[in-house]
Amino acid sequence: MPSTFDYTWDTPVYKGSTSFSTGLYIGGKFVDGSNKTTIDVINPSTGKVITKIAEGTPKDVDIAVAAAQKAYETVWGLNCPGNERGRLLNKLADLMDIHRDEYAAVEALDNGKTFNWAKNADLGLCIDTIRYYAGWADKIHGSTIETSEDKLNYTRHEPIGVVGQIIPWNFPLMMVCWKIGPALATGNAIVLKPSEFTPLTALLTAKLIDEAGFPPGVVNIVNGYGSTVGQAIAEHMHIEKVAFTGSTLVGRKVMEAAAKSNLKKVTLELGGKSPSIVFDDADLSVAVEWAAHGIYFNHGQTCCAGSRIFVHEKIYDTFLHKFTEKSKSLKVGDPFALDSFQGPQVSEIQFNRIMGYIDSGKQEGATLHMGGHRIGTEGYFISPTIFTDVRPEMRIVREEIFGPVGVIIKFKDDDDIIHQANDTVYGLAAALFTTNVKRAIKTAHALHAGTVWVNCSNTLYANVPFGGYKQSGIGRELGEYALSNYTNVKAIQINIA
| CA-to-CA separations, 338 to 87, 103, 113, 341, in angstroms, rounded | 37, 17, 13, 9
d(CA 17, CA 10): 9
Please identify, using beta-carbon distances, which residue of 182 and 450 lies nearer to ligand NDP: 450
Instruction: List residues binding ligand NDP (CB under 6 A).
Output: 166-170, 193, 195-196, 225-227, 230-231, 234, 245-247, 250, 253-254, 269-271, 303, 353, 400, 402
**Closest distance between ligand NDP and the C-beta of residue 303, in Å?**
3
**Closest distance between ligand NDP and the C-beta of residue 199, in Å?**
8
Please identify, using beta-carbon distances, which residue of 45 and 248 lies nearer to ligand NDP: 248
Instruction: Provide the angle, in degrees to the nearest 10, between the axes of the packed helices 414-422 and 437-446.
Output: 30
Please identify, using beta-carbon distances, which residue of 241 and 253 lies nearer to ligand NDP: 253
Of all residues in the shown chain, the one whose CB is closest to ligand NDP is: 226
Please identify, using beta-carbon distances, which residue of 154 and 225 lies nearer to ligand NDP: 225
**Under 8 Å between Cβ of 36 and 28:** no
Query: Catalytic pick from 107, 269, 400, 477?
Result: 269
d(CA 442, CA 429): 16
**Closest distance between ligand NDP and the C-beta of residue 31, in Å?**
19
Please identify, using beta-carbon distances, which residue of 356 and 365 lies nearer to ligand NDP: 356
**Closest distance between ligand NDP and the C-beta of residue 150, in Å?**
50
Please identify, using beta-carbon distances, which residue of 80 and 176 lies nearer to ligand NDP: 176
Please identify, using beta-carbon distances, which residue of 77 and 467 lies nearer to ligand NDP: 467
Please identify, using beta-carbon distances, which residue of 271 and 335 lies nearer to ligand NDP: 271
Question: Has 313 been annotated as catalytic?
Answer: no
Catalytic residue ranges: 269
